[in-house]
Structure formats: C-alpha cells, structure tokens
Amino acid sequence: MSNDCIFCKIAAGEIGGPPVYQDEEVTAFRDINPQAPHHILVIPNEHISSLNEAADGHQALLGKLLLTAAKIAADQGLAETGYRLVLNTGPQAGQTVFHIHLHLLGGRRMAWPPG
Ligand code: AMP
C-alpha cells in the first residue's frame, strides 16, 4: 500500500462507500465523476502505479482485472448491449490517478475513435 495513494485508501476501506466488488486481490467501485450511466473502476489491491510498472509476476493479476470487469458487466446487465474497458497509461493518455485502474463504461453508445 502506498500511503499517499487515494485508490490504495479505497481498497483498504479507509475512504469511499461500499465497493461494487472486492476480494483479496481486486476492488471495484463507482467512479466519482461518471462518464456513462455505468462507470466502475476495477483496481488491483496491490499498488502498481501504471501499466508501465507492471511486471511479469503481475500477469495473473492483470488477467483478473479483465475477468472481474466482465463479471461486473454481466451483473450490471451490460454483457449483451456492450461496454468499454479503458486503461489510461501516462499523462498523454489522460491518466490522473497513478494506481492501475480499468474503467468499465456502459449504458450508452460509445464513439470511436475515443477523444
Ligand atoms: P484516469 O484519468 O484514467 O487516471 O482515471 C481516474 C479516475 O478516477 C477518474 O475517472 C476520476 O473521476 C476517478 N476518481 C478520482 N478520485 C476518485 C475517488 N475518490 N473515488 C472514485 N473515483 C475517483
């Protein structure tokens, strides 16, 4: 855990409301500034600043983020209509919180290419 990381504090239950999903490896919670009717962030409980800092040993954990997002999407009724997963990496991609997080966005039609 990084003491100055807001997402570490959320994973530890120190701030934020009840998670959408949590187990010993990952936590999912609603984005504070939703960009779609459904906007959920899925994070590893372990602090990893960005995908650039992920190592080979994180392979299973990163796969778990994807599978957790898919399960939450199904639980939220998004599997059939579709949803988008976004993982911003670095400032030019728009990453503002430096703890890996997968955005799960759904409930509206998405544009392509993304802005
Ligand atoms: P990114 O720009 O990809 O780094 O995404 C960071 C996301 O975290 C943004 O969509 C923010 O709205 C969201 N966010 C920041 N602080 C919080 C918080 N305390 N609780 C929930 N979501 C947050």
What the chain holds in terms of domains, given with CATH numbers, is: 6-106 (3.30.428.10)
Q: What are phi and psi of 62, to 5 degrees?
A: -65, -40
* Average pLDDT, integer, range 8-26: 97
User: Which band of pLDDT confidence, cut at 50, 70 and 90, is reported for residue 115?
Assistant: confident
Tokens of 33: 């500034």
pLDDT at 3: 77
Whole-number Å distance, alpha carbon 96 to ligand 1 midpoint, is 7
Helices (H), the chain: 6-11, 59-75
Q: What is the DSSP string of 59-82?
A: HHHHHHHHHHHHHHHHHTT-TTT-
Residue 104 confidence (pLDDT) above 90 = yes
Ligand 1 site residues (CB inside 6 A) read 6, 16, 31-33, 41, 88, 94-97
* Average pLDDT, integer, range 31-55: 98
Whole-number Å distance, alpha carbon 32 to ligand 1 midpoint, is 6
- Quick check: pTM over 0.85? yes
32 burial level (CB within 10 Å; 0-12, 13-18, 19+)? exposed
- Residues 63-79 have pLDDT tens digits of 999 999 999 999 999 99
Residue 2 confidence (pLDDT) above 90 = no
